[in-house]
Structure 1
Amino acid sequence: MKTVDEAELCFPQLLNTSCRKTMLSPSVSLVIHLTLSSISLLTVFSNLLVIISIYHFKRLHSPTNILLLSLAVSDCLVGFLISFQIVLIDGCWYLGDIMCAIYFILDYIITTSSIGTMVLISIDRYVAICYPLRYPSKVTTERVKMCVSLFWMCSILYHCVLLRDNLQHPGRYNSCSGECVVFLDYIGGIFDLLSSFICPVTVIIILYVRVFVVVVSQARAMQSHVAAVSLQGSVKITKSEMKAAITLGVVVVVFLICTCPYFCVSLIAEDAAVSASSATFILFYFNSTLNPLIYALFYPWFRKSVKLILTLQILKPESCDTIMM
């Protein structure tokens, strides 16, 4: 029969080196399991609907939707990463040091790709709203695909190099058996914070402030006959572009709200060791669950495509040519 101390250890057979479990009551543990499992399944399923919608229906192959597709891919992968947090409910990592390093590398890659996609979305809306005549020639589907692919490849290469020591020596920085941490040196941590968060977020905020100013001025012009007359010689933004800017603005704001706590904790941390068991991770991941809900709320084409997918109408010949807008 196990002693009380042994029951509190992640690995009872390693009395001297094992980490201690986070002791939770069975009811609390069950609620957390069910909540995280539900979030994980909802995140994967809802983002798969976004991916299938944009990939299948040709009328949705616009530059902006290609960016949403990239974001949905990263969000869908986040849904799988949430399953690792389910393993960590009792504070113990049972999957080994190599899997811990791989988990963190995937997390960093997906995170950076999401932020990179947000930057591209901000640039896309900035050009569409501030330079509408140049938008069709400057922002093409092929160019957007190239930029998205470049961001993903750079993110993979960058973080494999940044975290190479954790891959070469997995578990080196664990203080006990059953812990999952990765370590970045001070310079690497600062550079990663600047390149993965501070600089991209600064660009996003600056571009969207400019977009917001233009959208507000155009909206006021539409409501004012005097302003409308004075703006006769200027280029007006279409309602669809304004609506897209507002919708994607909501996506960006929600993204910042969900991600800022995680990066703020990283910024004020005394060392560069990052643990997998953190509440800020859950909030960060939850953003991936919210994005498809925002699309469903604001985009009629997404609601229509979901209906066609769930009723299996997409299996019909030539369904890819369905008019969605």
Structure 2
Amino acid sequence: CTVVNMPLTLAGVVAQRQPAGDRLCRLAAFLDPFLAANSMLSMAALSIDRWVAVVFPLSYRAKMRLRDAALMVAYTWLHALAFPAAALALSWLGFHQLYASCTLCSRRPDERLRFAVFTGAFHALSFLLSFVVLCFTYLKVLKVARFHCKRIDVITMQTLVLLVDIHPSVRERCLEEQKRRRQRATKKISTFIGTFLVCFAPYVITR
């Protein structure tokens, strides 16, 4: 995307016209939805892997075998390829004047409804699907993290009760670390899901 699409888009914005020949423009237009969908679905696949690793640590190797991982990766690539391949067959790839870039576009007014349904389905089945998977898996991971935090907190409190001679500053530090530990997992997961939205939502909304 950085090597092909972004320089062509910059050239299109500067020149205010199609920045390359029809073949190169169609190639860039094919890569645009393919790479976007592939990136989103790959993040969703990684979140499934993390969910299995955290929630089922003892049976991770049995649940996430090489074949299972290969099937997930194959699905993300086939899913990402399906929509631009369909757009190529329907001649819906080319230079879009509004975006000043080579992307999905339809020039015929009679195809407007079909094209709207197509793009709606594409983004629902790539962005929304990935977002739902991310939320589901990371909320499960957060639940496990909080459970472990509670167990550690109980042990910490029991230790602090037993250590009657402990200095107040040490006790205070232990309680502060306990509070930070509770917030750490929530911050990490919020940052990960937030980054996904910040990176992909503008692209999906404008398209």
Q: TM-score, normalised to structure 2's length?
A: 0.67
Conserved 8 A contact 1:97-1:180 = no
Conserved 8 A contact 2:55-2:144 = yes
Q: How big is the shift at 1:120? A: 0.8
Conserved 8 A contact 2:44-2:134 = yes
Q: How big is the shift at 1:265? A: 2.6
Conserved 8 A contact 1:109-1:159 = yes
Count of matched residue pairs: 173
**Correspondence for 1:122:** 47
Given the alignment, which residue of 154, 163, 170 partners 1:224?
154
Among all aligned residue pairs of Structure 1 and Structure 2, give the percentage whose two residues are the same amino acid. 19
**Correspondence for 1:261:** 202
Pairwise CA RMSD: 3.4
User: Which deviates the most, 216-225 or 116-125?
Assistant: 216-225
Q: What residue identity is the alignment partner of 2:198?
A: I
Q: How big is the shift at 1:103? A: 1.0
- The structure in which a higher percent of residues are helix is 2
Q: Name the SS for the 1:105 alignment partner.
A: helix
Aligned pairs for 1:161-180 (under 5 A) are: 161-166=86-91, 180=102
User: Which deviates the most, 201-210 or 219-228?
Assistant: 219-228
**Correspondence for 1:145:** 70
Relative to structure 1, is the Cα distance of residues 218 and 78 closer, same or farther in structure 2, using a 3 angstrom cutoff?
farther
Aligned pairs for 1:1-325 (under 5 A) are: 77-90=1-14, 91-166=16-91, 180=102, 182-183=105-106, 185-225=115-155, 250-266=191-207
Conserved 8 A contact 1:115-1:196 = yes
Q: TM-score, normalised to structure 1's length?
A: 0.45
Relative to structure 1, is the Cα distance of residues 116 and 245 closer, same or farther in structure 2, using a 3 angstrom cutoff?
farther
CA distance in 2, matches of 1:79, 1:246: 33
Structure 2: gaps spanning 5 or more residues: 107-113, 159-183
User: Which deviates the most, 248-257 or 81-90?
Assistant: 248-257
CA distance in 1, matches of 2:19, 2:195: 33
Relative to structure 1, is the Cα distance of residues 103 and 221 closer, same or farther in structure 2, using a 3 angstrom cutoff?
same
Conserved 8 A contact 1:221-1:227 = no
Conserved 8 A contact 1:126-1:208 = yes
